[in-house]
Chains A and B, each alone.
Chain A
Amino acid sequence: MGRYEGNPVWDDVVPIPQEEGEGALAQIAYTDEYVEAMGYLRAVMAAKEHSPRVLDLTEHVISLNAAHYTVWLYRASTILALDIPIDKELEWMNEVALENQKNYQIWTHRQTLIDHIFPTLSSDPAAAQAFADAESAFMAEMFEEDAKNYHVWGHRQYIVRKFNLFDSDAELKSIEALLHEDVRNNSAWSHRFFLVFSNPAYTTAGSRATEHDPKIPDAMIDRELAFAQAAAHEAPQNQSAWEYIRGVLRKGGRELATLEGFAGEFVRIPEGGEEDIRSSHALDFLADAWSEKGELDKADMALRLLGEKYDRIRKNYWDWKRGLLRGAKV
């Protein structure tokens, strides 16, 4: 007797009853198939069987329902128990991942297996490089379907850390390619920040993303600012680029005012005339730069424009900021 067979709490698994109408038959066949496969899965799990036929069975169940987490765990334990090469598994996983964009279990599974082979892999730099390249190529394929898939980006960071790709030219280039395609891809911006500002070669170990890191060379800060400034010119209302600029300035310990001229290119406020605002983010940036320099009236004017005209949905926030300025004045 298996662990699940005859278990009364499984009485609620009832196949779909016969229905009239088109499509009903196909559905019934599908359910029967799933219910039957699950029955066998439960039986082998109860017997703790780890064999090649378990791989077939789990593959079948996953093809029917990739979100079932238990089947993934059992498949991984079977592969580890059999200690078989994982190339074929990776190939198969690529297909499953492409078909199940929202599935996250597959990424845990993938990392479990990569962790398993990594000690062997890392003893051969060429093989490790080839492996990392293949992972990148596969992720590029995933990004073609959804360039903001959170699980894939998580895996990307895992691979960068595992194979130390921080200095990899190809890694930076591929992020640039994604941003070239969609300059508003916040995931790609976020990964770029991770790549550049946690590179162990020139950053302080453990430096937080939100703090100044004096170890970072000026040239690196300049390079990143230039990249993000060009992107802001391309799409002035792109929030990601402006956040990136602020993030880089803080990493470099530089004041916002150092880019006042740049932000000013997006904002024209003539005396007494109608203003011309090409980016509310630029106006926001200038408000902070001006308040940094103590030019509080100018800052207040920018905040007022934001709350009344350019970002009305957040009027309460802009009013709150104006209140802070008034507090600073007295």
Chain B
Amino acid sequence: MSLVTGPGRASISASSLPTELQLSIAAHVKYIQTLDKRKDELEYHLTEHLRINGIYWGLCALHLLGHPEALDRDQVVDFVLSCQHENGGFGAAPGHDAHLLYTVSAVQVLALCDAMETLDERGKGDRSSLPGSTSSESGILGVGRYLAGLQNRRTGTFAGDEWGEEDTRFLYAGMLALSLLNKLHLVDVDLAVDHIISCANFDGGYGASPGAESHAMQVLVCLAALSVLGRLDAVSDKEKLGVWLSERQVDGGGLNGRPEKLEDVCYSWWVAASLSIIGKLHWIDEEKLTRYILECQDPEQGGIADRPGDMVDVFHTHFGIAGLSLLGYPDLVQVDAA
């Protein structure tokens, strides 16, 4: 999947705004389908380090649009498996180092394709050296062990790779993938929950690490991790958090990620999904947000941008559609906020 931006631009000007804005479903499906046919563009190569994420974003958006068949399932699965390393982890593309974030995307794509068993059948993870596992489930176990090995057993959080950069994003990603693999027992869940609690800030939000500024994406990963782990009780003050989140909505209807920052479709998803997890989505003006996201689409060539007038890309296309699904937009498959 190409991460190339364009060719479209979110192109509805305020003057031509129709009273009834519609999501251009067919255009978006076509836009995602053609992304991978743009290998002649420089940006295709420069974004190779995100390739597997791009596949996840594109495929997930297609599922929400009700067109999962628009990408060839076997090709997708083959590509994902070609990114795997002997240690069980996945890189962003063949030849890129294994990293937690790409491993999670790989697992998510396989889950979307209902192809998790291919890890056992054809995965590269070294299965022979795993004592105590039956050979039939060992490919999956290999991925689970790679992920579990990235947990810091002192603090509970996760590193992104063997170099140890830590971020609550990684904790969530690791937990999500382990739960999809049904291997949560390999990690210390209580320690991870404690770590998330220690990332809560005085303003009600969460940051990337203890003491780091509250940030909408970090809030979502903390909440989603707690949700996956069934530990939302660890959010001590849901009202304060809901207040901080709802304060992210600006007059135009979109949401920003931090005070005094610009609104953006991806932040709109992170904030709205967080509000939905704590049951407070109705604290923002949902109609205005729906309208904002629709203003960010290119209705002719497909794709969604970060804000009106900007170039579209698959990242914001995915988050825009996920946001609309969360808001109950008709004809979309219901998204899971966590």
Please list the residues of chain A having a beta carbon within 8 angstroms of any beta carbon in chain B.
3-4, 7, 9-10, 12-14, 16-17, 27, 30-31, 34-35, 42, 65, 67-70, 73, 76, 108, 111-112, 148, 150, 153-154, 157, 184-187, 190-191, 193-194, 197-198, 208-210, 239-240, 243-244, 246-247, 250-251, 313-314, 316-317, 320
Residue B310 at the A interface, CB < 8 A? no
22 pairs from A and B in contact (CB 8 Å cutoff): A7-B94, A7-B95, A13-B45, A34-B45, A35-B45, A67-B47, A69-B92, A69-B161, A108-B163, A108-B165, A154-B209, A157-B209, A186-B258, A190-B207, A208-B200, A209-B200, A209-B201, A210-B201, A210-B236, A239-B260, A313-B284, A320-B283
Asked if B242 is at the interface (CB within 8 A of a chain A CB), the reply is yes
Flag if A246 contacts B213 (CB, 8 Å). no
Overall SS of chain B's interface: loop
B202 in contact with A193 (CB, 8 Å): yes
A184-B39 in contact (CB<8A): no
Closest to A249 in B: B202
- B→A interface (CB under 8 Å): 39-42, 45-49, 82, 91-92, 94-97, 99, 161, 163-165, 197-198, 200-204, 207-209, 211-215, 236-237, 242-244, 246-247, 249, 251, 258-261, 280, 282-285, 288
Cβ contact within 8 Å between A69 and B97: yes
Decide if B82 touches A194 in the complex (CB within 8 Å). Answer: no
Q: In whole angstroms, how far apart are the Cα atoms of A111 and B249 in the complex?
A: 35
Given contacts A190-B203, A246-B202, 16 further A-B contacts (CB under 8 A): A10-B94, A16-B41, A34-B45, A69-B99, A70-B91, A111-B165, A184-B260, A185-B260, A187-B258, A190-B207, A190-B212, A208-B200, A210-B200, A239-B260, A247-B203, A314-B284
A16 in contact with B40 (CB, 8 Å): yes
Contact A316 B283 (CB under 8 A): yes
Residue from B203, B214, B236, B244 whose CB has the most chain A CB atoms within 10 Å: B203
Closest to B249 in A: A313
Q: Is B201 a contact partner of A314 (Cβ separation < 8 A)?
A: no
Dominant secondary structure of chain A at its interface with chain B: helix
Number of cross-chain contacts by CB at 8 Å: 136
A4 to B244, CA, bound (A): 48
Whether B97 contacts A73 by the Cβ 8 Å rule is yes
| Chain B residues, CB < 8 A from A112 | 163-164
State the Cβ distance, A315 to closest chain B Cβ, in Å.
8
Which residues on the B side are within 8 Å of A4 (C-beta)?
A: 95
Contact A31 B213 (CB under 8 A): no
B204 neighbours in A (Cβ, 8 Å) = 210
Knowing A31-B45, A186-B258, A198-B211, the reply to whether A313 touches B40 (Cβ < 8 A) is: no
- Say yes or no: B211 contacts A209, CB within 8 Å: yes
B143 to chain A, nearest CB (A): 19
**CB <8 Å contact, A239 and B247:** yes
Say whether A250 contacts B246, CB under 8 Å. no
For residue A42, which residues in chain B have a CB less than 8 angstroms away from its CB? 95
**In contact, B202 and A250 (Cβ under 8 angstroms):** yes
B202–A186 touching, CB < 8 Å: no
CA distance A68 to B97 in the complex (A): 10
For A14, the closest partner residue in chain B by CB is B39
Query: Hey, which chain A residues are within 8 Å of B214, CB to CB?
Result: 190
**A248 CA / B11 CA spacing, docked (Å):** 45
Residues of B within 8 A of A250 (CB): 202
Q: Which residue of A lies closest to B211 (CB)?
A: A194
Min distance, Cβ A298 to any Cβ of chain B, angstroms = 20
Determine whether the beta carbon of A210 is less than 8 Å from that of B202.
yes
Report whether A148 and B249 are in contact in the complex, using a CB–CB cutoff of 8 Å: no
Q: Are B237 and A70 in contact (CB under 8 A)?
A: no
Q: What is the bound-complex CA distance between A27 and B46, given in angstroms?
A: 12
State A314–B92 Cα separation when bound (angstroms): 40
Instruction: Give the shortest distance, in Å, between B196 (CB) and chain A (any CB).
Output: 12
> Across chains A and B, which 6 residue pairs bring their CB atoms closest together, nearest first?
A247-B202, A190-B213, A9-B94, A317-B283, A194-B211, A108-B165
Task: Decide: B82 and A243 in contact? CB cutoff 8 A.
Answer: no
